[in-house]
Structure 1
Amino acid sequence: MTSATTRPARPGPRHAEVTAGLALPARTFTVTRADLVRYAAASGDFNPIHWNERIARAVGLPDVIGHGMLTMGLAIRAVTDWAGDPGAVVEYGTRFLRPVVVPDDDLGVEATVSGRVAAVLPEPRVRVDLDVRVGADKVLGRTRAVVALEG
C-alpha cells in the first residue's frame, strides 16, 4: 500500500552511469501572484514586498517580488525530478543575485532552470550545478546540490 509519506521514488540515474558534464533536463517554472499568496500561506512569510506593489516600490524594488525560498525550491525540483527522489539531495545552497519580479497579470514570470553534473564524488554522490534565470538575468548564483545516487 502506498501513502503520501511512503510514495515510491521514480528510478533515477545510477552513480556508475553518471559522468561529469552530464546535462540535466531543463525545466521552466511559471510564478504568478497567486503562487506568491499560496507560498506565503504555506511558509508564513507575509512580508508585504511579496504582495503589495506600493510597499515593494517604497523600499526600492521594481515591483512585487517572489520569495527567495520559493525560487530556491523551484530550482531544486530540476534536481529531484532528475534524481527520482527528493530525499537524495544531501546538500543544497545558493546565493540570491536578483529578485524575481512577478507582474500583476495572469501570465506571471517564467524561471528557467538548467543544470549539469559538475563532479562525480565518492560514497556514491554527485555535485550538480544549476543555472537559474528569468529571461537573460541570472537570479540565483553558485547554486549547487550534492545528490546521493544508487551505486
Structure 2
Amino acid sequence: MTTLEPGDTLTLECPKITRTVLALYAGASGDHNPVHIDTDACQAVGIDDVFAHGMLSMAYLGRLLTDWVPQERIKSCEVRFSAITPVNSTPICTGTVAGVENGLARLDLTVTLPDGTVTLRGAAVVTANLPTT
C-alpha cells in the first residue's frame, strides 16, 4: 500500500519562465492578456516587463501533485495567488503533507521564487492510501 505520512514533502523545480514559454502557454490556454506577452503594453501601464500567467504556476502545482499520486487520488486543490512570477524566473513548487485523517491527506502547497517570494499558496486533499496491485 502506498501511504502518505505527515511531513512527507515533494518538490518540483519548474523550467525557466522564458518569453517563449509565456507565448506557448498563451496559445495553449487562449489567455493572450498583453501583460503576459507584450513588454510595450506592460510599460504603458507601469509594469516593467511581462510576467507569467497565474494559471501556469497552478498547472505546475498540478504536475507536482500528479507526480506524487495518481490523478484519481486528488480530491480537491485550491490556491491563492500572492505575487507575480517574473519572466526569466525559475519557480519551485513544494507540497508537504500537513496531516492525515480518515484516509485523506491534507497538503500544504507553495510556489516560491529563488529569492524566497511565495507566488502561490494553496492546499490539496488527496487519498492517503492506495492499494498496490
What is the TM-score when the length of structure 2 is the normalising length?
0.86
Q: Name the residue aligned to 1:74.
A: 60
Q: Name the residue aligned to 2:83.
A: 98
CA displacement at 1:19 relative to structure 2 = 1.8
CA displacement at 1:52 relative to structure 2 = 0.4
CA distance, structure 2, for counterparts of residue 52 and residue 42 of structure 1? 17
TM-align CA RMSD? 1.6
Please tell me whether the aligned partners of residues 62 and 101 of structure 1 are also in contact (alpha carbons under 8 angstroms): no
Q: Name the residue aligned to 1:5.
A: none
Partner residue of 1:145 out of 95, 108, 124: 124
Q: Name the residue aligned to 1:6.
A: none
Structure 1: 5+ residue stretches without partners: 1-12, 103-107
What code does the residue aligned with 1:46 have? H
CA distance, structure 1, for counterparts of residue 78 and residue 101 of structure 2? 17
Q: Name the residue aligned to 2:29.
A: 43
Secondary structure, aligned partner of 1:110 = coil
Matched, 1:32 2:18: yes
CA displacement at 1:58 relative to structure 2 = 2.5
CA distance, structure 2, for counterparts of residue 18 and residue 43 of structure 1? 32
CA displacement at 1:62 relative to structure 2 = 3.0
Q: Percent identity?
A: 34
CA displacement at 1:44 relative to structure 2 = 0.7
Aligned residues: 128
> Which digits, 9 at most, give the CA deviation of each residue in 1:66-121, with x for residues without a partner?
110011111221121011x223222111111111110xxxxx32001122101113
Structure 2: 5+ residue stretches without partners: none
Q: Name the residue aligned to 2:93.
A: 113
Q: Name the residue aligned to 1:8.
A: none
What code does the residue aligned with 2:104 have? R
Q: 1:87 to 1:62 in 2, by over 3 A?
A: farther
Q: Name the residue aligned to 1:126.
A: 105
Secondary structure, aligned partner of 1:73 = helix
What code does the residue aligned with 2:9 have? A
> Which digits, 9 at most, give the CA deviation of each residue in 1:126-146, with x for residues without a partner?
1111121112111112x1111
Structure 1 residue runs of 4 or more that deviate by more than 6 Å after TM superposition = none
